[in-house]
A = this chain, B = another copy of it.
Amino acid sequence: MNFFKSCQSRNAADGQSSRAEKRELQTQRIMRAATACFVRSGFQGASIHDICREAEMSPGALYRYFPSKEAIIDAIVAEARKNDVEILTKMASCEDVVEGIVEAFYNHLRLTEETGLRPLFVEIRAEAMRNTAVRNTCRKNEDNVRASFRLYLEEAWRDGRIRPIVSLDAVVTVLMAVGEGLIMADLPGRELSAADIQKALRAKISAVVRPVEASHGTSSLCLDGTN
């Protein structure tokens, strides 16, 4: 009943926003503002008033959409890694395992940089160390990524495309450490070419995963100058 009522209200090719749509829009507006503030000052450093100023909204209005600051943080943490999905499905469609992983890492790194979300990701990691709710959300995200990696490697292994060097779980663990580390590492000031980093990554990953037909894996990687 209520369900039908709320659905029938405005559903045609209607540019205007229904009640629920507007609510969704405002919620997103708050989350976008909060994200900007958290990037700038961290979870504890950013105040509700900061977020309100950024969202051009009063505290009273904001609290109509989120019951607490914690809830805003939780929502943002839950949404933070939604881009991982497409990066991982793109990876899964790549036959060459080494190249697939390298590109996934690189896309992950590039997207993090482009969206300016790097400080947020690190902040989330820090918060996950003490806040149980955040930790659980992170863990869930991580489990998904982990499973994707594992499935990807497992299939390639069954097809005889790769020959893993240790247990798949160990491989995945170190792989994910590399991915996280690239985000944490203080690259921006370092002035290192993307190609160099990709090359180093490629070598590293092919080592732990060992493609059987080393068509370009081992042989074409050239030894380079000092700088």
**Chain A residues with a Cβ under 8 A of chain B:** 40-42, 44-45, 118-119, 122-123, 125-130, 135, 138-139, 142, 154, 163-171, 173-174, 176-182, 184-187, 189-190, 192-193, 196-197, 199-201, 203-208, 221, 223-227
Closest CB of chain B to A154's CB: distance in Å? 7
The docked-state distance in angstroms from the alpha carbon of A182 to that of B181 is: 7
The docked-state distance in angstroms from the alpha carbon of A126 to that of B174 is: 22
Instruction: List, sorted by A's number, 25 A–B pairs whose CB atoms are closer than 8 Å.
Output: A41-B130, A44-B45, A45-B130, A118-B129, A119-B129, A125-B126, A138-B186, A142-B186, A165-B199, A165-B221, A166-B196, A166-B203, A167-B224, A167-B225, A167-B227, A168-B227, A170-B193, A170-B199, A176-B181, A177-B181, A177-B184, A178-B178, A178-B181, A184-B184, A204-B204
The docked-state distance in angstroms from the alpha carbon of A181 to that of B168 is: 18
What B residues does A130 contact at CB under 8 A? Answer: 40-42, 45, 119
The docked-state distance in angstroms from the alpha carbon of A202 to that of B82 is: 32
Q: A126-B122, A129-B123, A206-B207 are in contact. Are A173 and B199 (CB under 8 A)?
A: no
The docked-state distance in angstroms from the alpha carbon of A56 to that of B130 is: 24
Q: Is the interface of A mostly helix, strand, loop or mixed?
A: helix
The docked-state distance in angstroms from the alpha carbon of A83 to that of B184 is: 20
Of B197, B223, B225, the residue contacting A174 (CB under 8 A) is B197
Q: Which residue on B lies nearest to A153, using beta carbons? A: B226
What B residues does A176 contact at CB under 8 A? Answer: 181, 185
State whether B226 touches A154 (Cβ < 8 A). Answer: yes
Q: Which residue on B lies nearest to A177, using beta carbons? A: B181
